[in-house]
Amino acid sequence: MKTPRAEITINGRKVASAFDERLIALTVTDREGSVSDEVRFDLDDGNPFIAIPRKGDIVGVRLGYLETGLAWFGQYTVEDPEVRCLPYALSVSGKGASMRDDLKTHKERHWDDAPLSAVIGEIAAEHQLAPLVDPTLGGFVYHWIGQQDESDIHFLERLARRHGAVFSVKDGRLIFAAKGSGRAPGGTALTAIEASPDTIVENSCVVRFAHRYKFRRAVAVTQDREKADRVESAADSDEEGEADYRLGEPFADEDEAQAAAESQAAELKRNTITTSVTLWGDPRIRAGAPFRYSGVRPEIDALRFVITEATHTLTKSGYTVALEAKLQAARPGATTPSGAEAPTPTPAPRPNEPEARAPAPVQYRSFPE
């Protein structure tokens, strides 16, 4: 049996070993996109009392198993610590340390004939961040793109929606990555996770089929000023859909409109099937990674997902990961959803690593007509 372990640093200094004895619960939430990652830990307090962290302190987190090593989960800025008395306890929460307030300042500016990578690079440099742009996205050229009385965060989120991407700021880097690629922005494949009956916490597995998101196409429009007419650009989303989904805003040119339509079509497809499940702890489970089931149910095993949120929780009872995932939809121009050979899924381990057992035979049963 493996031993779950966490390591916490505050302003670069490791918390004393008494942390393990006093720990009530540690939760780290890893999210896809610009929504801040979060950490929270609750400790038994009392004589000797624990020094109360100050707002703005930097918390670093590693999590994993004593026998196989700890994985880095990032840095977080302490928000408002909470002290409870009689009995004594201390709760500390924080959000991703790199999501800076200056990214929220509204600006007015524009770019002419600029590739997407140059636009993002300029914004990153203004905030002393290193840009990391997915190469499949960075080459798109905007003949004109404006940031009109909106913050850098809002502008980057708008660009991300148009290109089927996710934008985030982590560990001093401004990341702009293709959504659902199953890869880090630098091209490294994220560990694909496979969940089986042995690795799933009982009564936690749910798969939802949302037919309201089934649209035939996504349609974007461009205003042709010379002809005083609107030109439509469309992308197929779901062959079972009947209606078209129309994007409200007009776009500067047909290339931009087509990219936006393809991005929206893929996002609609992703939302048609979602899943949530809790697995026995595995520090390799991260937002953006490919995910699938094995030996759970025939129709379900055939589906491929991408993790959108992973919440790692360590308590005295053990280590678990609650994840949310969406259907993996093919990206524009990609032969597979990742644009490359999909990585082989890695089974999520249980702490005591039981021997694998074959699932019971399953048969389909038709509904009576």
Contact 95, 34 (CB under 8 A): no
Whether the predicted pLDDT of 250 surpasses 90: no
Q: Is 279 exposed, middle or buried (0-12, 13-18, 19+ CB in 10 A)?
A: buried
Residue 292, pLDDT > 80, answer yes
pLDDT surpasses 80 at 330: no
**208 pLDDT band (50/70/90 cuts)?**
very high
Predicted TM-score (pTM) of this structure = 0.82
> So what's the pLDDT on residue 217?
93
- 168-187 per-position pLDDT tens digit: 887 788 889 888 777 765 56
352 compared with 196, residue with greater pLDDT: 196
User: From CA 281, how far away is CA 313, in angstroms rounded?
Assistant: 8
Please tell me the predicted confidence (pLDDT) of residue 209: 95
In whole angstroms, what is the distance from residue 249 CA to residue 171 CA? 34
* Distance, CA of 8 to CA of 169 (rounded, Å): 21
Does the pLDDT at position 363 exceed 90?
no
Question: Which of the 8 DSSP states describes residue 129?
Answer: -
**Which stretches of the chain are DSSP H helices?**
18-22, 116-126, 135-138, 152-163, 254-270, 298-301
Whole-angstrom Cα distance, residue 308 to residue 108?
32
Average pLDDT across the chain, whole number:
85
Query: Over 90: is that where the pLDDT of 93 sits?
Result: yes
How many residues can be counted in the chain? 369
